[in-house]
Amino acid sequence: QSALTQPPSASGSPGQSVTISCTGTSSDIGAYNSVSWYQQHPDKAPKLMIFDVTKRPSGVPNRFSGSKSGNTASLTVSGLQAEDEADYYCCSYAGSNSFWVFGGGTKLTVL
Amino acid sequence: EVQLVESGGGLVQPGRSLRLSCTGSGFIFGDYAMSWVRQAPGKGLEWVAFIRRNAFGGTTEYAASVKGRFTISRDDYKGVAYMQMNSLTAEDTAVYFCTRVGDGYAIFLPDYWGQGTLVSVSS
């Protein structure tokens, strides 16, 4: 069982918006503004999409946005496109003993 | 372009050892901490090990599940990170990802990942 809880699946039609939640505890998501999200296509390396809860690395479309409230973080993908279909993993720093904890992943399907 | 390429995975019997390698390119290897993250079949990601850059002592950290059995190391001249895995069990079966750890963030995090190498522990 993963340290962070994500829904196993999410879906939306092209052009729609989808939000994926990620629930942790007061020791990880609730304690640090260090939530990141990774996109992974089949047999590809995970790619950093969001860091520091809300920030996007250079080159990541602004259709991807992140937020946090209490112990729950969220990733929103707006204007869904076919290439957004992938697995998404959340990650939070959890202190010097655990370093990083991850979610179990959410498979995003573009209908 | 930052690239990380893992190698060394394969099928190994319980109790045996395996050494994984991760070759980095497209960045100054010695300027970054490195880590390993694994993903068991059908499961989520799990952080495994971390090594600071030599400027910070090259010290290491491990997840409780592998502490005492796995050893992470680095060779900055070759641009390679290693993970020596001993006393392997079936629970270690996973795809092992090498990651670069960036520090230009609120807190350092894995910013670039390799494609992973599969380790299967079975008799």
pLDDT at A43: 87
Is some CB atom of chain B closer than 8 A to the CB atom of A101?
Answer: yes
Beta bridge partners of B97: B37
Interchain proximity B111–A34, CB inside 8 Å: no
Residue of A nearest to B44 (CA): A104
Which pLDDT score, from 0 to 100, does residue B108 have? 85
Instruction: Check pLDDT > 80 for residue A2.
Output: no
Burial of A14 (C-beta count, 10 Å sphere; 0-12/13-18/19+)? exposed
A88: pLDDT strictly greater than 90: yes
CA atoms of B36 and B21, how far apart (whole Å)? 10
| CB within 8 Å: A45 and B37 | no
A37 at B interface, C-beta within 8 A: no
Q: Tell me the pLDDT of chain B (123 aa) as tens digits.
A: 999 999 999 999 999 999 999 999 999 999 999 999 999 998 889 999 999 999 999 999 999 999 999 999 999 999 999 999 999 999 999 999 999 998 878 788 899 999 999 999 999
Cβ of A99 within 8 Å of Cβ of B47? The answer is yes
Amino acid identity, residue B99? Answer: T
Length of chain A: 111
Would you call B107 and A32 a contact, using CB atoms and an 8 Å cutoff?
yes
The Cα–Cα gap between B96 and B115 comes to: 9
Residue B113: name the closest of B86, B81, B84 by CA. B81
- Whether B50 has its CB under 8 Å from any CB of chain A: the answer is yes
Place of tokens 């990541």: A60
Is the pLDDT at A91 greater than 80? The verdict is yes
Cβ contact A95:A40 at 8 Å? no
| B112 interface with A at CB cutoff 8 Å | yes
A109 contacts chain B (CB < 8 A): no
